[in-house]
Chain A
Amino acid sequence: MSLLKINGLTQQFGGLTAVSDFSTEFQGNELMGLIGPNGAGKTTVFNIVSGFYKPTQGKILFEEKPINGLKPHRVTAMGIARTFQNIRLWHDMSLLDNILISQHYNLGYNLFDLFVRNRRYIENEKRMRNIAMQLLEQLDLVQFMDEKPKNLPYGIQRKIEIARALSVKPSLLLLDEPAAGLNSSDVQELIKLIGWIHKEFKISIWMIEHQMAVVMSLCSWIQVIDFGKTIAQGTPEQIQNNPAVIKAYLGDDQI
C-alpha cells in the first residue's frame, strides 16, 4: 500500500499550465525533495495536494483514498500537514495556543459541551493540552510556551511552524522551503531537526527547497520540475550530474 500516489496531475490557470502530468509515489517513511527553478510549479503541487486548488486533471490517492477536491482542513485531518514558504503562524497568540488550535480536527466535544463545561469538555481540553505539551517538550520549545511567535527569532518561528504541523500527527509532512531566510548556522540546525523528525516520528517528509546543501544532505530521492514538467528524478548524485537539470538551472551554453 502506498502512502501517497499522484497520477497525471495537471493544473491550468486560464491559459497557463502551471503543472502538467506530474506523477509521484510515496511508500511511506521516506524523505523526498522537489526542486526546480523559480516558477517551476513546485508550490502549486503542494497547494494541490493540501487542497487549496482543485486540479484540472489527475488523481491524488492518500492511503488509497482519493483526496482531490477535498477542503484543506479535511486533507489535514486525514494526515497531510504542511508549512509555508513565508511563515504563517498566528502571531498574536501564545505558542501553546498555536499548537492547541491545530487540534481542531480532533476536538472530541461540541458546542453544547463547551457551553455547559461538562466532563467531556474538560477531559478533551486536558487531552489536547497534554498532546501539545508533549510535543513542545520533544522539540525543546517549552520555554517559549507563553511567548507570542512574533517576539521570537526567525529560526525559532520556523521550528514552531514545523512543530505546529506535527501536532496534527501527520503521516506525510510537506515542507515548503523550510530553509528560506535562515542563516547558515540555523540551516545546519534545521537539517538536523528535519532528519531527527524523520527518524523520531517515523513519517514521510516531502520538501521543496532551493538550498542544495539541505536537499542533498537530507533527501534520498529528488524530483526536478521545470515549467510544470518533470525533467529528472533520482538520487542526489544522479541529479547533480543530470545534464537536463544543469540546463534548467544554469541555462543553455548557446547565446
Chain B
Amino acid sequence: MKKFSVPALLAIIAAGTVIAAHFELIDLYVQTVIMFIGVNIILSSSFNIINGYMGEFACGHAGFMAVGAYVTSVLNIMFFTSSKSFGDPILSPELALWFFPVTMILGGIAAAFTGLLVAIPSFKTRDDYLAIITLAANFILVSLFINMDSVGGSRGLMGMKQIVFAMEDVAFIPWMLIWTFLFTFSTVFIIRRFVSSTYGKGIIAIHQDEIAAEIMSVNTNKMKLVAFMLSSGLAGIAGGLFAHILGYINPNSFNILKSTECLVMVYLGGMGSLSGSVIAAIIFTLLIEGLRFIIPAMDTLIHFIPLVPDTFHLSQVLKWVIIPLILVILMQFRPEGIMGNRELSDFFPKLKRYYEFK
C-alpha cells in the first residue's frame, strides 16, 4: 500500500489536471503556468545535483537547457513539419506523437554531452574557478545559437506549435500537459533514486570531503562526470519541453538571467533537498506569474494616490529587482533555504507511515 501511495497521488493530480484541461475547466493560461511549474521543477531539481548534492557552485544551467531546446525543436521541425529552412517533413506528421519522447530524450542526451564542457574541467578545478567555467559555458552555448543562422540566429526559432498541432490532430487532448507531467515525474524519480543509492551518495561524499572520497575507492572523476551529465541532460529535457510549450525560442531566453532563476530556485528550496527544489520551483513560478498581475496593480495604485508623475510607470522589469532581492533576503535570514538539506519526511516524520518514496 505504502509503496503505491506517491505514484497514485501523482497520477491523480496529473489525470485530474489533464481532464480539467481537456474539458476546458482551466484556461490556456493556467495550463501554461502548470507546465512552467513542471519545467521549473526539472530545472531546479537537476541543478540541485550539482549545487546541492555535489556542493559545487555552477551557474550556467540555462546553457544546457538551450542545447536541449534547440536539438529537440530542430529534430521535430525537420522530421515532422514543412518549414522554410528544413524543407518538407521527412516522416508523416502523425508520427510526431510517437517520436516526441524520443526527440526529447535525444535533446537530453545532446545536452548531457555538452555537459562535458563543464564536467571535464571540474576534474581539476573547484569552487570559484569552476563557477567561472560554468558561466563561460553558458555564454559559449548562447552565442553559438545566436550565430547559427540555420536555426534562426538571434531572431529565434519558430514552428514548434505545429508539432503540438500535429499531435493534437491524432487525438485532441492536451498533449503538452501530459508530456510535462510525465517528464517531470520521471525526473524527480530518477534524481531520488540516484541520490538515495550508494552509487549516488558518492557525490555527497565528494561534497563533504573529496580526498576522503578518492581514498575510500570512490572514482571522483567518474562521479563528477555522471553528476554533470545527468544534471545537464535533465536540463536539456526541460529545455525541450520549454520550447514546445512556448512554441518559440530565442537564444537570449537562455542567458544568464535564466540561470539565475535556476539558482534562486535551488537556494530557495535548500541545497541538497529534493522536496525543497520541488516546493521552491512551485513557489517561484507562482511568484513570477503573480508579479504579472501585482506590478500593474501597484502601478495603478501609485497613480491613484498621486505620488509620482503620470509619465512614470512600473514595468515588468521590476521582476528582476524583486527576484534578486528575494535571494538577498533569503541569504540574510535563512541561508539554508526553505528545507535546508532535509526532505519533507524529516520535517513530518509521521508522513513516513503513508508513503515510501524511492
- Cα distance A102–B201 when bound, in Å? 10
In angstroms, Cα B341 to Cα A91, docked, is: 14
| Residues in A neighbouring B212, C-beta threshold 8 A | 84, 88-90
| Complex CA distance for A89 and B213, rounded to whole angstroms | 9
Contact B217–A114 (Cβ < 8 Å) = no
Closest to A161 in B: B212
A93-107 near B? 1/0 per residue, CB < 8 Å: 100010011111101
* A101 touching B205, Cβ below 8 Å: yes
List residues of chain B with CB within 8 A of the CB of A168: 216-217
Provide 8 A-B residue pairs closer than 8 Å at the C-beta atoms, listed in order of the A residue.
Answer: A73-B214, A76-B217, A90-B212, A92-B341, A93-B204, A104-B198, A105-B217, A115-B193
A119 at the interface (CB under 8 A from B): no
> Are B214's CB and A90's CB within 8 A?
no
Contact between A76 and B216, CB atoms less than 8 A apart: yes
Closest to A168 in B: B217
Output the least CB separation between A95 and chain B (Å): 13
Residue B219 lies at the interface, judged by CB distance under 8 Å to chain A:
yes
Kindly report which residue of chain A lies nearest to residue B215, judged by CB atoms. Answer: A72
18 new A-B pairs (CB below 8 Å) besides A73-B219, A84-B211? Answer: A50-B215, A72-B214, A73-B217, A76-B217, A84-B215, A88-B211, A90-B204, A90-B212, A90-B213, A91-B209, A100-B198, A101-B213, A101-B216, A101-B218, A104-B217, A105-B217, A114-B194, A125-B197
- Residues of A whose CB lies within 8 Å of any CB of B are 50, 52, 71-73, 76-77, 81-82, 84, 88-93, 97, 100-105, 107, 109, 111, 114-115, 117, 121, 125, 128, 164-165, 168
* B330 at the A interface (CB under 8 A): no
Task: Give the docked Cα–Cα distance between A73 and B205 (Å).
Answer: 13
Interface of A is mostly: helix
Of B190, B194, B212, B213, the most chain A CB neighbours within 10 A belong to B212
Q: Which residues of A contact B190 (CB under 8 A)?
A: 115
- Which listed residue, A52, A89, A97, A109, touches B199 by the CB 8 Å rule? A109
Once the chains are docked, how many angstroms separate the CA of A105 from the CA of B215?
Answer: 11
A97 to B199, CA, bound (A): 11
User: With contacts A97-B201, A114-B199, A115-B190 known, is A92 near B215, CB below 8 A?
Assistant: no
Quote the shortest CB–CB distance from A114 to chain B (angstroms). Answer: 5
Q: Cβ of A93 and Cβ of B214 under 8 Å apart?
A: no
Residues of B within 8 A of A92 (CB): 204, 208, 341
Contact B209 A90 (CB under 8 A): yes
Task: Count chain B residues whose beta carbon lies closer than 8 angstroms to a beta carbon of A.
Answer: 26
The answer, yes or no, to whether B220 is at the interface (CB within 8 Å) is yes
Contact of A93 among B199, B201, B215, B219 (CB under 8 A): B201
- Tell me the smallest distance from the CB of A136 to a CB of chain B, in Å: 15
CB <8 Å contact, B217 and A77? yes
Chain B residues with CB under 8 A of A73: 214-220
3 A-B pairs closest in CB distance: A105-B217, A88-B212, A90-B208
Chain A residues with CB below 8 A from B34, complex form = none
Contact B201 A89 (CB under 8 A): no
A255 to B254: give the CA distance in the assembly, Å: 72
| 1/0 contact string of B183-201 vs chain A (CB within 8 Å) | 0000000100110011111
Closest to A114 in B: B197
Q: Are B200 and A114 in contact (CB under 8 A)?
A: yes
In the assembled complex, B182 has its CB within 8 A of some CB on chain A: no
B202 at the interface (CB under 8 A from A): yes
